Structure 1
């Protein structure tokens, strides 16, 4: 009878007696394997540089580290194709474990191997001196990347420091049972690590129970965005809703990057986390249909007064880009007790948000002193860009003139319901505006009902081409509406 290990070698057509030769191994959709590298070949992998395993549903371990029990081991056929008999193995082979020799291994990719519970054993780490990339994705049962050795083994002593001198990229993605990279007490050093992704790992606890040194690593990427390392690696790796016992992910959030996600909440940043997003710099959301708002501001009666509102600054946010967020109704809402401020917001681009009603409100526009680009397109029900407060007479932000001192590019395109930039009577001053585009906005009647100053604006890009704004934008819009009406009447007279 042949050992299971040798049988698996025959099934895949792999002659592991020649395993010292390949530099690259790629295996995909092979359900016959319960382990990839058999125990008798583990010590001969010195030339292997790239290992890629995908969709092997029965694989339980990558490197077989225990000699499997089998009957009649002395009857292994030396001509069976495996080319090895148990009696002919070198004396240096252990009957319990063979540490793989992986000194040239540079890239490891493991994808959709649902029975794997770990990738390496601790004893294997010593040979991974050239490993540059490690990517593990969509493995249902994996709990750790590196498995601890037996507690009695001296090889996994907590005093031993593990060094990955060349590891640059580590990606752990969609691993629902992953608790950590290594749960032992050993210290880890990754002096070359610059890219770390820990994405959709809801049971994540810690990278390692020991110390971790990553001098070149600046951020951690998760399903929600990019995080700073101010408080280490112990935070949520899924969308930061509520998670008992796990610190909030908002306190070290640098960037929000969400794309093609159906499980995002109705609001990206809940009201109870507004004070935590002090580091947030960028928001990018694409194709997330469940999102109805970006910043949630819940009215809590008694938390403030109309004479003294609570001002909540989002101090470092510079860029907001939203594309194809079909159910988005608002970006940010203020109320009579609380106002959001965006003192460093520079760029706002919004496209294909069909249910968006408006962009800014009266109370927050005074904080937009750094806004430079405002581009809005294909938002079908947007009637105004700047909305007046619902109780205009009690609006704290109501002033005689609204100034956007740095706004230089304003593009409004394919807004079927747009009636104007603002329908209030406040005067507007846009001293830096030199690019104005208004296209496919059939319902627009006025830019603003108040006085408008645009001293740097020379031309307007419209459906009619590049046009001279003449006295001001409002008079230009009125003139064009008159021309359109005359053309319609003239055209109708022919029929």
Structure 2
């Protein structure tokens, strides 16, 4: 055996279609330095080691002394590590073993997972399907994974991941103890057959997608060191824990139970724990109960619970949950219950009261329809918290009309504010309900409210309605909302009002078909001021509005030009990259303005500065060039290259040439498709040496793309397609004429281009 093989540390085999074994017993001992083996997609591989003769089966002990990592995947015929007695096999240094899609191996050899064979194994990843259908198959499609028996044979194990898919499972380092994750074990009914001390070593337990799981563990199991528990998509599970198990969870810090259709309670309300006994989740900081349609409570029994460390509780989409717990309850650090993210939360007195309020629709309706303004405000506030996202049940209860009525209560600004918030939440998905309820004209009227908060919420609501469709936008504009909205954009406005009002103004201008221009034209003076703002959000929304207003006929473009926004837009484009809110909105506006017919004759200075600014952007990296392309600026630049006065043409040529010089082949081909070759060739006739040099550089880089495509076989091997396009644009003759140019640099560049791309002695050139 060569010394090269003896020093081999890593061996990877993939898609070896005829390989039946990897080593023979006489050669395997030579691989003493092997640390990593990966075998993937070898359909006829049957074993790692084949024994040369019967005597070796009796006397040899096969060892991989340095092997630390072994992965076997997609091996349909693989049955064993070696033929015969497993006592001859040992992996003394193996720390991580991954086995997937090896059905024959898992069915026959689960018993190999012992500490004698793998004395230092720390991490095991195996398919769920075959591990649970081995020796614990019950004969009637019910299966059990005896986790206790399995792990007691491997005391060094830190991570066991049983997954019914090929993707890598996320890894979290566990210093002391064990992490077990079981996914997509569809037929698994029980994880443990009997109580086992091995569960005291668990630190992380995650069980997901086990549809037939009846219970997690036997009722007296102990989890003294468990810190993290996640159970999701186990649709046959009715409870998660017994009270006896719950008492052992003294170190649990995080629990998440999600999307388990039959769970009615988390801790079983049994009689094992006396009524006056307290279950304390001493270290639990975060508890999430999500999408549990039959959950009625955390515990239905009389157990008392203490959560001294609980700071975050999420109860989301649990429609049948009436109370958190029947027994005494202590949550000293908890001050809110989240529903749909941190922004949506509720709290009333204590945890049980909060849960009751969240689900008590009849009581809340009574408060909304009462004559007591305090009850009206409280109920409206609770409805608002329930309406993110909006609930169909709440909408069908008829409260929308009452909320619209509350908008008119000038004597109670707080009630107006809560009603506006509730209607805004409803409008996020049910705009027509709010419109049909008559809220739009009242929201417009509220733009003149003496309350800053009410005005700002009215601005927000009108923006949400206008965003939903062009029809709804036009309805808002027809209610004469624009002028009172513009009144909010004053020097005394709060920053939040400026942002929200500018955002709503932008929404008034957006959409296809465009809004009637006469209705939004009064916004131009305000936008001309807003583009000078130092607030990035205000700038972005103002530029978006201007891009919409300038997208259209010449009279629209002329109105935008007359608003004197162009110099500021050009200055914004000169902002050091990366731009604070992205280049696209001001680039859109520049594109629309530049392509207008009146622009070329009336705004020469602005056109030149705009092109110069764009050339600074295209001189950057490929991502910046792509921003210019995505903004649709290349087409107008090519038009300027053909039709503008000289100095603007020069800056446009610089912008195009920079994009060609720094762009990818695909970006350069895009510029060619937009028609840049003909105007670049035409500019070669100009007397200005600088513009000629710029255009020659651009054409040379285009020709390089054609050369590369010839050499790689992605285009015709016998001629340069882009050389033909240059010829068609009469560029070849113009480049030949440049051989006699007064500038030595231009002359040399022309000669070089002709020699490389049109030399008759070179096969595959343009001529």
Q: Is the CA contact (8 Å cut-off) linking 1:288 and 1:324 kept in structure 2? A: yes
Residue 362 of structure 1 deviates from its aligned partner by 2.2
1:413 is matched with 290
Q: Which has the larger radius of gyration?
A: 2
Residue of structure 1 aligned with 2:135, choices 241, 244, 247 = 241
Is 2:236 the counterpart of 1:355? yes
Give the Cα–Cα distance (whole angstroms) in 2 for the partners of residues 183 and 361 of structure 1. Answer: 46
Question: Displacement of 1:145 after TM fit?
Answer: 2.6
In structure 2, relative to structure 1, the CA distance for the partners of 1:142 and 1:423 (3 Å cut) is: same
Secondary structure, in 3 states, of the residue corresponding to 2:239?
coil
Q: Is 1:473 matched up with 2:367? A: no
Relative distance call for 1:462 and 1:169 in structure 2 (3 A) is closer
**Distance verdict in 2 for CA 1:466–1:192, change over 3 Å:** same
Residue deviations 1:293-334 (CA, integer Å, cap 9, x gap): 32345xxxxxxxxxxxx9967321222112222222321242
1:170, 1:397 → 2: CA distance? 51
Q: Does 1:134 align with 2:31?
A: no
2:21 aligned residue (107, 118, 123) = 118
Q: CA deviation at 1:424?
A: 1.8
Say if 1:117 and 1:287 are closer, same or farther in 2 by CA, change over 3 A.
same
Query: Is the 2:93–2:121 contact (alpha carbons within 8 Å) kept by the matching residues of 1?
Result: no
Which of 184, 203, 218 in structure 2 is aligned with 1:318? 203
SS in 2 for 1:314: helix
1:422–1:319: structure 2 CA closer, same or farther, 3 Å change rule?
A: same
Matched, 1:258 2:155: no
Please name the residue that 1:462 is paired with.
Answer: 339
1:119 and 1:146 in contact (8 A); partners too: yes
- Distance across 1 between alignment mates of 2:51 and 2:216: 47
1:383 aligns with 2:291: no
Is contact 2:12–2:38 with CA below 8 Å preserved after alignment? yes
Which ranges of structure 2 fall in alignment gaps of 5 or more residues?
138-147, 166-175, 369-382, 384-393, 403-436, 438-767
1:223/1:239 contact within 8 Å kept: no
**Partners of 2:188 and 2:110 in 1: CA distance:** 28
C-alpha distance 402-249 of structure 1, shift in aligned 2 (>3 A): closer
1:491 aligns with 2:399: yes
Q: Distance in 2 between matches of 1:197 and 1:438?
A: 37
Q: How does 1:325-340 map to 2 (within 5 A)?
A: 325-334=210-219, 339-340=220-221
**Alpha-carbon distance in structure 2 between the residues aligned to 1:475 and 1:186:** 64
Q: Distance in 2 between the 1:104 and 1:250 partners? A: 32
1:286 aligned to which of 183, 187, 212: 183
Corresponding residue of 2:700: none
Verify: 1:345 aligned to 2:226, yes or no: yes
Q: How far off is 1:197 after superposition?
A: 4.4
Q: Please, what is the CA RMSD of the aligned residues?
A: 4.6
Q: Is the 8 A contact 2:188 2:213 kept in 1?
A: yes
User: CA separation of 1:320/1:189 partners in 2, compared to 1, >3 Å: closer, same or farther?
Assistant: closer
Q: Counterpart of 1:365 in 2: which secondary structure?
A: helix
Structure 1 segment 97-116 matched on structure 2, within 5 A: 106-109=10-13, 111=15, 113=17, 116=19
Q: Hey, what's the Cα distance between the residues in 2 that align with 1:287 and 1:326?
A: 8
Give the distance between the partners of 1:469 and 1:206, measured in 2 at CA.
54
Distance 1:396 1:112, change over 3 A: farther
Cα distance between partner residues in 2 of 1:430 and 1:490: 39
| Larger RCO, structures 1/2 (Cα 8 Å, 6+ apart) | 1
* Cα deviation, residue 143, structure 1: 5.6
In structure 1, the partner of 2:328 is: 451
Give the superposition deviation at 1:411: 0.8
* 2:126 corresponding residue in structure 1: 223
CA 1:130–1:345 in 2, change beyond 3 Å: closer, same or farther? Answer: closer
What is the Cα deviation at residue 240 of structure 1? 5.8
Matched, 1:170 2:70: yes
The reply to whether residue 427 of structure 1 matches residue 321 of structure 2 is: no
User: How many residue pairs are counted as aligned between the two chains?
Assistant: 341
How far apart are 1:436 and its partner, in Å?
0.8
**1:437 is aligned to 2:314:** yes
Whole-Å separation in 1 of the counterparts to 2:218 and 2:89 = 45
CA contact (8 A) 2:286 2:310 kept: yes
Query: Could you list the runs of 5+ residues in structure 1 that have no partner in the other structure?
Result: 1-42, 48-100, 226-235, 262-278, 298-309
- Once structures 1 and 2 are overlaid, which stretch shifts more, 163-172 or 249-258? 163-172
Contact 2:126 2:163 in 1 (8 A): no
Residues 294 and 484 from structure 1, CA distance in 2 versus in 1: closer, same or farther, beyond 3 angstroms?
Answer: farther
Residue 66 of structure 1 corresponds to none
CA distance in structure 2 between the partners assigned to 1:160 and 1:313 by the alignment? 34
Q: Deviation at 1:408? A: 1.1
SS at match of 2:186: coil
In the alignment, the residues of structure 2 paired with residue 206 and residue 441 of structure 1 have an alpha-carbon distance, to the nearest angstrom, of: 43
Q: 1: distance between equivalents of 2:208 and 2:198?
A: 24
* SS of corresponding position for 1:476: helix
Shift of 1:357: 0.9
Change (3 A) 1:206 1:143: farther
Give how far 1:289 is off: 1.2
Deviation (angstroms), 1:446 = 0.7
